[in-house]
Amino acid sequence: MDERIKEFFSWSDLFDYMVTRQLSHIRGNWELTWDHAAQEYEAEEDSYAELINRLVIELSELDPPLKYHDNEDRLAEYCKANLNWNIHKIGARWVGSDYASILEQGGFRDVNAGDLCLAACGRVKAALDRNQLHFDDMEEFHRKMLADVVAIILYHRSDQCITKLS
């Protein structure tokens, strides 16, 4: 387990604003509370906190891919081949549709969000390699992309996670 990845997502000023707020139409409690004693987001009713805590552990246990864009490219290729999207790649960028939409729709075929999780892990590793040790410290464009990838994973897993509060 890579503790740096867990620390990367810890107590953030921007994470809930950029990630879970996008999903407030699914779960209204989008604002996250950091539990300093447990070192995780506090599980609350109608919140993504429990799912996020599990996702962070999952990401910390993955071996980051050398080229996380390859994982994202598979999702885009799926959209192009199976959904007949008029998208194509110019250099390293997909054009013809919003990139987050491409990943979201391609993610429906991504069993258990495998490619999305590897892409997220790779994006975190790239940030760590650039000495951006926390989500809030990431370069703005890359932070936005990581936020979108994490939100897509949460969206795809929304129906699979029922927060159980004791």
Q: Can you give the pLDDT of all 166 residues of the chain as single tens digits? A: 889 999 999 999 999 999 999 999 999 999 999 999 999 999 999 999 999 999 999 999 999 998 999 999 999 999 999 999 999 999 989 999 999 999 999 999 887 799 999 999 999 999 999 999 999 999 999 999 999 999 999 999 986 544 433 3
What whole-number distance in Å separates Cα of residue 54 and Cα of residue 63?
A: 16
Number of domains in the chain: 1
Q: φ, ψ for residue 42 (rounded to 5)?
A: -75, 125
- Contacting residues for 105 by C-beta, under 8 A, at least 6 apart: 75, 79, 83, 85
**Cα 60–Cα 74–Cα 132 angle in degrees, nearest 5:** 35
Place of tokens 């779960």: 27
Q: H/E element holding 140?
A: helix 140-157
The answer to the question of residue 166 being in a domain is no
Q: Which pLDDT belongs to residue 160?
A: 52
Note whether 22 and 151 are within 8 A (CB). Answer: yes
Q: Which domain holds residue 132?
A: 3-160
pTM here? 0.91
The answer to the question of residue 55 being in a domain is yes
The answer to the question of residue 31 being in a domain is yes
Note whether 52 and 151 are within 8 A (CB). Answer: no
